[in-house]
Structure 1
């Protein structure tokens, strides 16, 4: 090989230039490989974390499956023994609408006097307290919707 000035290149310089070029190429490959390693390390860390979450989820589900079933349904309300309560509930079932104490007195053919309406109201309040009826607004009673 001849140089631009027409002289033959020094074999030692030419060889050193080739080595330097090769060194720079290898250094570039090293940097790209390190960048790939960093990317792959981050990806591996994310995959390890995802796998750990799946192991925790499996362990949680298996432990929940091993727990005994608990009954979450509330106990059925107990209707008082007095026949008046059964009559009141039958009227609510037949009419299917909210009623006031006065309405029940009329349906039961009781005279509309304060004594009767207060007794009926007290029974209605007791049924509300036991969860058998609901008071949708003050003085208005209804059967709860399922």
Structure 2
């Protein structure tokens, strides 16, 4: 064979390989396009199904938690309103002019835990209590 024919054969092999690579890519892209079309169709069916559902009933609004009747709870909340920031039971005893005895501190801690269980206060870390400002209407709206 002549060198010219050899070059033609080499070029033909190159083009055949490139064409085969493109056919493979086209097959892969066609498969991916089919998958995307199916997913789009599934989303359209989901949208149609959701729109056909009856409207959901509005969720009942939660009423603010009822505070225990004891005035100490209101005094505790007033203290949080007057001096914002996290507090410990001992801090509250001092602020409320209560004796700093273990009994008094434990009683205050118990009240704080009760307010946490009602969702009025939050316990940021063990023994450290803070006002849950989402419930500020409990304390008359004062922050």
TM over 0.5, shorter chain = yes
Structure 1 stretches of 5 or more lacking a match? Answer: 1-41
Q: CA deviation at 1:100?
A: 0.6
Distance 1:123 1:62 in 2: 49
In the alignment, structure 1 residue 105 sits paired with structure 2 residue 121: no
**Root mean square deviation of aligned Cα:** 2.9
Matched residue of 1:134: which SS? strand
How far is 1:81 from its partner? 1.6
Say if 1:54 and 1:109 are closer, same or farther in 2 by CA, change over 3 A.
Answer: closer
Out of 126, 132, 138, which is 2:114 matched to?
A: 126
Higher-Rg structure is 1
Question: Higher relative contact order at CA 8 Å, sep ≥6: structure 1 or structure 2?
Answer: 2
CA spacing shift, 1:54–1:110, aligned 2, 3 Å: closer
Partner of 2:59: 71
User: 1:117 — aligned with what?
Assistant: 105
TM-score (normalised: structure 2): 0.59
> CA offset at residue 136 of structure 1?
1.1
Give CA-to-partner distance per residue, 1:19-72, whole Å, 9 cap, x none: xxxxxxxxxxxxxxxxxxxxxxx8xxx5985784365134223134x2232317
Distance of aligned partners of 1:114 and 1:60 in 2 relative to their CA distance in 1, 3 Å threshold: same
Measured after TM superposition, the shift of residue 89 of structure 1 is: 0.7
**Number of positions where the alignment pairs a residue of Structure 1 with one of Structure 2:** 104
Q: Please report how far the alpha carbon of residue 91 of structure 1 lies from its aligned counterpart in structure 2 after TM superposition.
A: 0.8
- The answer for the alignment partner of 2:45 in structure 1 is 56
Give the 5 Å matches for 1:3-42: none
